[in-house]
Amino acid sequence: MNPTATEAALWEFPGKSPSGVVNKLFTIKPQSLLDHLQATGNHSKLNEAWHIPDICSNPNGIWRGLDRVGQEEAYCYVGFPTGEFAKKHGVNVEIHSGLVMLVFTDPELVVTKWRLCQPDKVNQSWPEGHDTRFGERIWPKD
Amino acid sequence: MAQGLDAFAAHLKRSTDVMGEFRSEPFYQTETDTLIFYFRDTPSYEKRITKYLTIFLAVEDDSLVGIEIKGIKVIMMAIQNLGDVPISEPIEVKDEDGELIHMSFVMHFALGFEQLEAISGTQYEQLRDQVKEFRVRRSDVCPA
């Protein structure tokens, strides 16, 4: 049975707003990447999805703009995977130390994709290439 | 109706339980205009090669795990401008022939010739071999 067929169309959870000040609701939709990973048996990438709520609620930094057409208002939340959300639900997920996790959202904070990344050599809380790949860092401000 | 994190966790658990064996298959994500293609099921991290191309390397040994081609609409428009390319079909990726653009062609547009040196010869050969059987269908979102 496809588990997505009988479930809600989306999930909502609180996380840090792009301003970094208040909380806002984030959305994850099963359609799109999550469904693709499940359909293609990609356990590794699906396991990374356990980190999404943790990163969105406790990021190290938030950037806006992905330096290409149509993605100027997208956000990227970056943080250290902790596995806390998974642990709360009785699941142990692998933590790869030394890597940061990137969670991308659209302007309405709908999560689109996620992945691990090497950290910046100077500020290891931020991703490699953060100074060139994004439009601007919006939290924390300098 | 939206549900909360408990439902999300339950979904992840159930998804894991019912997942079959890994299948390498490209995926076009409309929201981000990216084509994501994992060749293997192993923990990976990204390595950004150009603004249009990212590769995924294994956490364990830095071997190639997948590829992401970004800005597909821009690339398809550039390819379209090279010649008489029909654009009536939506973007999709298939492992069959027809009026589809070779995915390796799209990959090379994303990579750019100057950036060929940014990846190792072995990685380049692996990328080329992995994508050569796939074709990308032109999009009706590209202006005529």
- What are the boundaries of each domain within chain A? 3-139
- Partners of A43 on chain B (C-beta within 8 Å) are 16, 19, 22, 41
Residue with tokens 């943790």: A54
Inter-chain CB proximity B2 and A3 less than 8 Å:
no
Q: Is the ipTM of this complex over 0.90?
A: yes
Query: Quick one: which H or E segment has residue A35?
Result: helix A33-39
- Residue B68, phi then psi, degrees to nearest 5: -130, 125
- In angstroms, the Cα distances linking B95 to A73, B56, B136 are 33, 21, 9
- Partners of A87 on chain B (C-beta within 8 Å) are none
Name the minimum distance, in Å, from the CA of A142 to any CA of chain B: 25
Inter-chain CB proximity A113 and B29 less than 8 Å:
yes
pLDDT in tens, B40-77: 999 999 999 888 889 999 999 999 999 998 888 777 77
Per-residue pLDDT of chain A (142 residues; tens, 9 = 90+): 344 444 556 899 999 999 888 899 999 988 889 999 999 999 999 999 999 999 999 999 999 999 888 899 999 999 999 999 999 999 999 999 999 999 999 999 999 999 999 999 999 999 999 999 999 999 998 7
Task: State whether residue B142 is helix, strand or coil.
Answer: coil
- What number of C-beta contacts closer than 8 Å exist between A and B? 144
Expressed in angstroms, the distance from the first to the final Cα of chain A is: 50
**Considering CB atoms only, which of B15, B42, B48 is closest to A38?**
B15
Name the minimum distance, in Å, from the CA of B29 to any CA of chain A: 7
